[in-house]
Each structure stands twice: as structure tokens, then as C-alpha cells.
Structure 1
Amino acid sequence: MKNALSKKTTSVSDDLDSQHSCKAARMPINVIGTALMEGTDKIPYYTEIKALAPYVITAGVVKYWSRGTTNTWERKLHGKVYLVTGATSQGMGTSVVLEMARLGAQLIILTRNVDEWSTEWVHDLRERSGNDLIYMEKCDLSNLYQVRKFATGWLDNSPPRRLDGVIVMSGDMEPWGVPRLSKPLRKSSADGLELQIATNYAGVFHLLDLLQPSFKAQPPDRDIRIIVTTCWLQSMGNVELKDPLWQNVKYDSSLKFFASSKLQLSLCMLELQRRIAKGIRKQQKDGVERTGRNVSVTLVQPGTMRSHSLRRVLSNGSVILLLLLYCMVLYPFLFLLTKSGRRGAQSVLYALMTPELEEVNLKEDEVKYISDCSIVKLVRKEFQDEALQRELYDSTRNEIEKLEKKMAVKRNARKKTTSRQ
């Protein structure tokens, strides 16, 4: 008896659900039919709908435009090995490595700290992607000693380790402060450099410069891609040829240091491409001439995203302002005008996947600049000045060597003091 009642109840509820779904499907048809046969005045709430429709349509168009384009290319990454920075951002970086892991890539993720949280993050990434070839190495890009230690360990292998590319998505943006009301607080790295210059410029430059032998040692048929993310704010930056690490520049604007770190890194990447290609051309074997274009350096501008950096800037590093200003006041506008991390990742994935960067399709050694999944031109005059790029590269390398020697002396002095105690 009870079973019969329960079956009847279930069947009745299923019938009701099907009736509701049918009504929902017929609703647009009924509305259109009513408008055609009886006029729009018979449509419920037509006046309110008419008043709100322009705003809703405008918001939809703006959001569709601001979300950017979607990467449509895909490569098989099984067996390929990549070094990745900035992967644990829970935004663009995480979206990129998740897609790469799903496509079968072996990932070595460089992170500032290897702790309980980061270990759990890696386990979660392995489960979500079904790929166990994901590893984490400690390498704080703001610390030149850690960068050299990692790069030396990577190069200390015979035969050379396989490397199919480096994806640089790490970065630091400090709060800009309220002009004329609060003095910007200068944060320093372990080497005494301004933190943004250390993280965004010196550390990345040092890593890629040290890894040049690894890029050159790869087989000629291997497509190696060095992808470095930048920011449109680089157009507001300055270049310091005599003091490329900005050790003696007055800290009067956090924005100036951030923009300049991105600009100087981009300029050095153009010179890095030329040096790698030139070095490979010198390594001709068995009479086979090589172009060096199997190693490509690409700059990617992912667009303005609702990232951790944007939240820090808009809230000026304040939790109260984050809750009141960012979450309650600005978020609706930011949702319309900025990208999510997943959407920002599309240009990085495009740079990784597109056949345009394969050696057979490259006619010159120029670095490609990608924005919204398409190749665009770099407009500032510094990007056309090879002499400036070469001088900046050499000057940066020399200043890093001097700073490393200085810090090595300090480390040795501390060790002696500790041993005596």
C-alpha cells in the first residue's frame, strides 16, 4: 500500500515538473504571440521591461567586449616539460597550468615557499587534471641567490635536461598610496632591491639569462617557447641604463617602479631572443645550418583582470577598504570592465599553442607581442632601439653580478659569526 502511494506521489511530482518545464519552454512563444496578436500592452510588466532593456543590453555588450577573445588552438603536450612561475595565483596562473596539465604536460612550478598549503594545492591540481607529473620547487624570484641556486641545479645534468619552455606569470604590484596624503612604503627584497624591481625584473631576467645554455642545448626539432607576461602599464615606465636595478632612484611612486620593471624586462626579452638565436647558429653540427628560431621569446599582455594585484591597489592594502570599496562599491563596475583570471589566461594559452610561433612559420628573430589572442606591435620607440636593449641587458647582468658578490660576502660573514657563537 505504502509503495503504491509513494509511486503515485513520485509520478504526480514528475508530471508537475514536466508541465512546468513545458510552460517555461512555451513562455517566450506565448509572449511573442501576445505581442503580435494583441499588442505589447497585454504583456505583463512591459513598461518596466522596456525601461530596463537598454541598460541590460548595454551591460551585456560591454561585458562581451571586456571578456576578450578565446584561444582556439590546442597542442598535445604529452612528454613536454615546462618551468612555470606564478601558477599559485588562483587566477590566471592557476587556469594556465590546469589546462597545460590536462593536455599532459610535465610541470615544474617555481614558488616562493613550499609549505602545507602549496603541497595541498599541487595535490588538488593533480586530481583535477588527472596528471601526476606536477612538481614544485622552491625559488623566490625576488631572491637572486635562490634563482642562481635553482638554475645551477637545473643545468648540472649530463645529458642536458629536457626543457620545452618557460612560462613566467609571476609578479608583484604594491599599493600606490593616496597621492600627497600618504608616503608610499618601500618594501625591499633579501638583496636590498625594491620588491617590484626584484620580483618583476631582476629575478626573471636572472633566471632566463642563466638558463640560456639549457635553451641552446635542446634538439633542433624541439619547439621551445619562453612566454613572459607583461602589463599595459609598461607604457608609463622609464629606463635607467646606468642604474637598471633602481638601487639609487628615489622611491616616490610605487606605480613608477612597477611600470618600469615591466618595461625594462620587455626590452631585455628582445635582446634575449637575439642572443639565443645567435648562440644556436654558432652551434652548427654535421654541416646542418640552424636558424635558432626553434626557441621563441613571446611577450603576452593578458589584459586587466580582477586579480590579487588589482585588489591590493584599489584597497591600498587595507582590509577595510577591500571590503567596503572593492567588494561593495567597485565590484559591479569591475565585473563589467575587467577579465576574470580564466579569461586572462586565454592569451597565454594562445602563445603556447599557436602554430604562428613554430620555426617553420617565423621569418625573423623578432619577439612577438600578443594581446587578446593576436599578435600586435610594440609601439614605444625603445622597442625599436637594439643598441639600447643591448646596453640595458649588459648593464643589468653586470649589476646583478656585483650585487651577488656583495651578498655572498655578507652570507659568509654571517656564517662565520654563527659558527663562532
Structure 2
Amino acid sequence: MPLDFLGAVLAEGTDRIPYYEQLKRVAPYVIAGSAMKYWSRGATNPWERKLHGKVYLVTGATTQGMGTSVVLEMARLGAQLIILSRNIDEWTTDWVNDLRDRSENNLIYTEQCDLSNLWQVRKFATGWLDNAPPRRLDGVIVMSGEMEPWGIPRLSPPQRKSSLEGLELQMATNFAGVFHLLDLLVPSFKAQPPDRDVRIIVTTCWLQSMGDVNVQDPLWQNVKYKSALKHFASSKLQLGLCMLELQRRITKAIVEEKAGGVERTGLNVSVTLVQPGTMKSHSLRRVLSNGSVILLILLYCILLYPWLFLLTKSGRRGAQSVLYALMTPELEEINLKTAEVKYISDCSIMKFARKEFTDESLQAQLYANTQRDILSLEKRMAIKRNQLKGQTKAKSTK
């Protein structure tokens, strides 16, 4: 049948094609839209490796978008996953059971660890390190993030949301909590044998280019709150800069340790920043709708959705760059010449745009000051907890 139709068209011309004139008018738009969608979907991860026996800590996995796509693929490849979740409730339990069924992998577990809560982060990290011999750890994949609606200043003044310790919520979740977790886990990274390929993968966002670096007050405790966007962008920028210093510290510590007299390069532990692209995520919906259900329906679901469909990625497509960073042989010790942090976007290694990424002294100072301020904040909160316990105990004895 198709051959008969094509033969008729060749013999008698396009008049044999039904609705040819209408198709001719629509075709350029269809082709342009298809080309735009093909471009915006991004690259596909070309690598795959078996992950049987490997153990990974993962944050931001329960998003039903990029995070879920990443852990589903990792589970299918045999990885043992410890997923850090803000809450362990009935929904989380059902989600984990569904992930086990879909991947046919029962080695998937959840641990409660709210990254906006520095005390919970320390409790988890301390529990992880309190083990002899040291636990196996093949990598940490950080995909969690908090993005508050930016708001319309004239219609709704910016509302600052705070963490339990009093930090701005985005700065606490995106920067302080992630920094604290990875900083505390440095002994675990160092304890891994030299033949183990350990990958620390941290997702970032192109909005970091709009952020500021506050070296003296890295947790932004004394900064006046003007917009959610500024805090979000700055939290991502500061985290990226600290990751460069984290890589140097881990590498230096491994080289200097020389456990058992074995010379090591330290390159078996790599830190990678991944920019997955703009996706149709929960964060994007919250920002575009300004947290309003009415705006979500009118603006996101009706007015902007055709453009979002063409210009943004799905969660599965955004996951490709994270999976690339996890599986590419470019990050294996044998292929690394230096301990420089790699920046991956669209399954390719890119260059950093901001000049701060070349300033090692700035990164070192920012890292040290963040350690100092987190420790100070933890001490203050510990005093408050002890005072509260004392008051509660006093009331119970009356």
C-alpha cells in the first residue's frame, strides 16, 4: 500500500496527497517545533556500568522527576541505595516499595535526614562514621534543593522562611546542609581503598550565575532578606565554590596519609558539579505560580505549557547528565591528570563561567568560614536544646 501511494504521487504529482495544501502550510511549524524540542531535550548518557555491590548515599530522590529517574536507573543496575529523606512516613515507605518492585532490587533503604536541620545532618553522619571497619561508600549523589517562589514585590512583599536553626530556608537546605553532610563524611571518603572509584556528584543550577558570595557571613545570617531568587542563586554558587575546596582537601588528606606505606594520588575520589538543565519540576511550578493554585492552573497549565513543553526537559532527560557523571570513564583515576572538579552539562565537561571558580584562596576562605559558622550555630542550638530539656524536666517533676 505505501509503495502504491508513493508511486501514484511520483506519477501524478502532489494532487494525490489528501489535504496537501493544509499540510504544506503546517509542516514548517511542525518541523521547527520538533527541532526545538529535540534541541531542548539535551544529550543522552552514552555510558552504562554495572553497579552491583556498590553503595551510594542519595538525596533528592523522591521528587518523582530527575531524582526518581536517577535512583531507578541505579537500582536497575544493581546499586545499594541509602536514600536520605526529610520525612519517613507512609508515602515514603510506599515509594520505596514501588522502587524496589520496578527495579527488582531490594537493596534500597531510607534514612531520615532533613538537610535544612544541621542537627539531623550531624546525627546521620556520626552514625554512618561510627562503624568498624569503615562502611563501604562508592559515592554521594546530591540532587536535593529548595526553591521558594520569587514573588512579585509590588503585589506580595518577600516572605523569609527559616530553618529550625534560624537560617534562610534555601540557604540552609541548598548550601549549609549539603556542605555539612559532605564535610562530615570526609573521613569516610578517605577510608575507602585506593582501588575504589568514589564519586561525589552535586547538582547545581544555571541561576548560580546570578548569585553573590558572602565570604565573611557565608550562611547569610546577617543579610537583609530582599528576594528568594538572590538567596537561591547564592546558595548554589557558594556550594559550588566549596566543592572545589572539598576536592582539594580530600585529595591532600589521602596523599599525606599514606596508609600502610602505600603511595596514593587521591584521584580515586572525585567531586563533580552537574547542571542538569531547566526541567518541568516542582520547583519550576512553584516559581511560575508564585505558590498560587489559581496561577498554577492559568499560567503554568494553560498559557505557558506549550512553551515549557518545547523549551524544558522532563525529569528523565535531566537525569542523563547525572547518570553520565556517575558512569563516564573520564572520571576514573587512570584517566584523571589533576584533581580539578569537573563541571558537566548535557553529558559533556564544560568550563566554569564565573571568575570565582578560579580563585582558590576565596574558595578556601569560604570553606573555612562556613565550617566556623556552622560549628558556632550548632553550639548555640545545643545550649538551647539542653535548656529546653531542663525546663521540661523541671515541669515534669512538679
Distance, in Å, in 2 between the alignment partners of 1:123 and 1:378 is 39
**Aligned match of 2:246 in 258, 272, 277?**
272
Distance, in Å, in 1 between the alignment partners of 2:386 and 2:290 is 38
Distance, in Å, in 2 between the alignment partners of 1:403 and 1:391 is 18
Partner of 2:154: 180
What code does the residue aligned with 1:128 have?
R
Partner of 1:420: 394
Partner of 2:335: 361
Instruction: Indicate yes or no: 2:84 matched with 1:120.
Output: no
Distance, in Å, in 2 between the alignment partners of 1:326 and 1:32 is 43
| Unpaired segments ≥5 residues, structure 1 | 1-25
Distance, in Å, in 1 between the alignment partners of 2:6 and 2:365 is 69
Look up the SS of the partner of 2:304 in the other structure.
helix
What code does the residue aligned with 2:320 have?
Q
Equivalent positions of 1:294-373 (< 5 A) are: 294-373=268-347
What is the CA distance between 1:30 and its match in structure 2?
4.2
**Cα shift readout 1:63-111 (whole Å, capped 9, x = no counterpart):** 0000001001011100000000000000000000000000000000000
Distance, in Å, in 2 between the alignment partners of 1:230 and 1:285 is 34
Distance, in Å, in 1 between the alignment partners of 2:266 and 2:317 is 32
Partner of 2:172: 198
**Cα shift readout 1:274-330 (whole Å, capped 9, x = no counterpart):** 000000001113432111000000000000000000000000001111111101111
Partner of 1:45: 19
Partner of 1:65: 39
**Conserved? CA contact 1:34–1:43, under 8 Å:** no
What is the CA distance between 1:36 and its match in structure 2?
1.4
**Conserved? CA contact 1:347–1:371, under 8 Å:** yes
Equivalent positions of 1:10-89 (< 5 A) are: 26-27=1-2, 29-89=3-63
What is the CA distance between 1:185 and its match in structure 2?
1.0
What code does the residue aligned with 2:198 have?
I
What code does the residue aligned with 1:35 have?
V
Instruction: Indicate yes or no: 2:143 matched with 1:161.
Output: no
The TM-score with structure 2 as length reference comes to 0.98
What code does the residue aligned with 1:255 have?
L
Partner of 1:17: none
Equivalent positions of 1:87-126 (< 5 A) are: 87-126=61-100
Distance, in Å, in 1 between the alignment partners of 2:188 and 2:290 is 41
Q: Give me the identity figure in percent.
A: 76
Distance, in Å, in 2 between the alignment partners of 1:250 and 1:70 is 42
Look up the SS of the partner of 1:79 in the other structure.
coil
**Conserved? CA contact 1:298–1:369, under 8 Å:** yes
Equivalent positions of 1:225-304 (< 5 A) are: 225-304=199-278
CA change 1:287–1:210 in 2 (3 A) is same
Distance, in Å, in 2 between the alignment partners of 1:397 and 1:31 is 72
Distance, in Å, in 1 between the alignment partners of 2:256 and 2:85 is 34
Instruction: Indicate yes or no: 2:193 matched with 1:223.
Output: no
Instruction: Indicate yes or no: 2:342 matched with 1:403.
Output: no
Please identify, of 216-225 and 410-419, the stretch whose mean Cα deviation from structure 2 is larger. 410-419
Look up the SS of the partner of 2:353 in the other structure.
coil
What code does the residue aligned with 1:383 have?
F
**Aligned match of 2:357 in 367, 380, 383?**
383
What is the CA distance between 1:31 and its match in structure 2?
4.1
What code does the residue aligned with 2:139 have?
G
Look up the SS of the partner of 2:283 in the other structure.
helix
Look up the SS of the partner of 2:259 in the other structure.
coil
**Cα shift readout 1:212-270 (whole Å, capped 9, x = no counterpart):** 00000010000000000000000010000111000111111110000000000000000
Please identify, of 99-108 and 173-182, the stretch whose mean Cα deviation from structure 2 is larger. 173-182
Distance, in Å, in 2 between the alignment partners of 1:44 and 1:344 is 40
**Cα shift readout 1:163-211 (whole Å, capped 9, x = no counterpart):** 0000000000000001333211110001100000000000000000000
Look up the SS of the partner of 1:87 in the other structure.
coil
Look up the SS of the partner of 1:228 in the other structure.
strand
What code does the residue aligned with 2:346 have?
D
Look up the SS of the partner of 2:257 in the other structure.
coil
Distance, in Å, in 1 between the alignment partners of 2:5 and 2:219 is 66
**Aligned match of 1:393 in 356, 364, 367?**
367
What code does the residue aligned with 2:236 have?
K
CA change 1:324–1:30 in 2 (3 A) is farther
Distance, in Å, in 2 between the alignment partners of 1:140 and 1:203 is 8
CA change 1:149–1:355 in 2 (3 A) is same
Distance, in Å, in 2 between the alignment partners of 1:376 and 1:89 is 26
Paired positions, count: 395
Distance, in Å, in 1 between the alignment partners of 2:185 and 2:393 is 34
What is the CA distance between 1:39 and its match in structure 2?
1.5
Instruction: Indicate yes or no: 2:101 matched with 1:133.
Output: no
What is the CA distance between 1:337 and its match in structure 2?
0.3
The TM-score with structure 1 as length reference comes to 0.93
